[in-house]
Structure 1
Amino acid sequence: MTSSNSHQGMPFNTAAAEVRSSIMSVLASWAGLITEERSVGAPQRHVVGLARFLHENIPWLRAHPAAHDLIDELSTLTRLARRASDSRSVRVIPVGPCVREGCDGKLRAVVKVVPGAQPKPSEIRCSADRAHWWASSEWAALASRMRTLRDHRRTWYSVADIEVLWKIPSGSIYRLANQYRWRRRKVSGRVFYHAEDLHNSLRS
């Protein structure tokens, strides 16, 4: 996806930037788990260095109880990265926060523009979950929902959120999630854990 940069007049691939940010976050979280549990030095904090570090530790990661989370996250990020490299351009118009419960994504009105063809109908998509989208015929109902939606208690936290808010190392987070069977969901290639399960585990 590309959108215009109003300041420079140059195309900017919004989707690619979002995927790159998610890749950095996921790789850094898993690198943190390895350095904590194996007591080894941390890699350089960039995509190539983090990816190389994880690759060098594949045999150890394969035996880890949370290995399935790593596979799920990397598989999702791979799909998102391939989609972001699509050569088609679109016009993107910010709409507001996603109205689906537990979703931290941003809604955007999207019009696809394919060279040599008529622009495809507009739709509103969530930046975090591809299942959250609305056709143009649903915009009025969506606008009403956005107006009436009240602030509510946050119900999902990423590994990075938990690290910052509760000062828990990423390695301990994955162990707790596996031990206490926290409910989980994936958004943009990142795993989020249910707040209720997290709070219950911390209290116990």
Structure 2
Amino acid sequence: MNVRPCSRNHTRETPAAGDSLLCAPCLREVERNLRALPILHQECLYHVSPTPRRTNPTKVSGSRNRDHLNISVLDARHNSLAILDSWAGTITEKLGKVSSGRSALQFTRFLTENIEWISAQDLAADFADEIATITAELRRTIDPDPNDLHAVIRKCVVDSCSGTITATPQTAGHAGRSLKCTSGHSWEMREWLGLRQLMERQRERVSA
């Protein structure tokens, strides 16, 4: 019997589980992240506009200055929903199934229901990595950790570049996090969806 290594390229070769290209620990991680995503997506709403201490009880409640809005939180919520939508679209395109709605909860339920299929595709590693990335991004938005280590994402998508893309922590004065290549290429987090589509096109050219 041929034993395939997990497609996420662990330091130690871990065999994939059954027809899946992901190992059992990776599958469990994806399922945990999918369960957590709707909760984190909702929790972020409480961090969009922190409520300041009221010093003027007669102030109209709807007159809060827009400067209080945390744009990085809005970006994180938008990015996560866009990526979930994109993966749901992949399933719809390939299997003809359609998500029951377009909320984070409905998307994650849809992806969980089809995880057996998607984990057996060449996209399995990308799927696991992206779900892990947006889950971590929402968690950092809710509870930032200044000592958080860079998380390795994927090989750089720029032609002939041997660098690795990493997600850099949010820094003071910079709204949101960015994706940087070890060779110097960089993208904003909001560009991640387009970046993933470029990765898919590159993989299709290689397999053609």
Give the shorter-chain TM-score range: 0.3 to 0.5
TM-score, length basis structure 1: 0.45
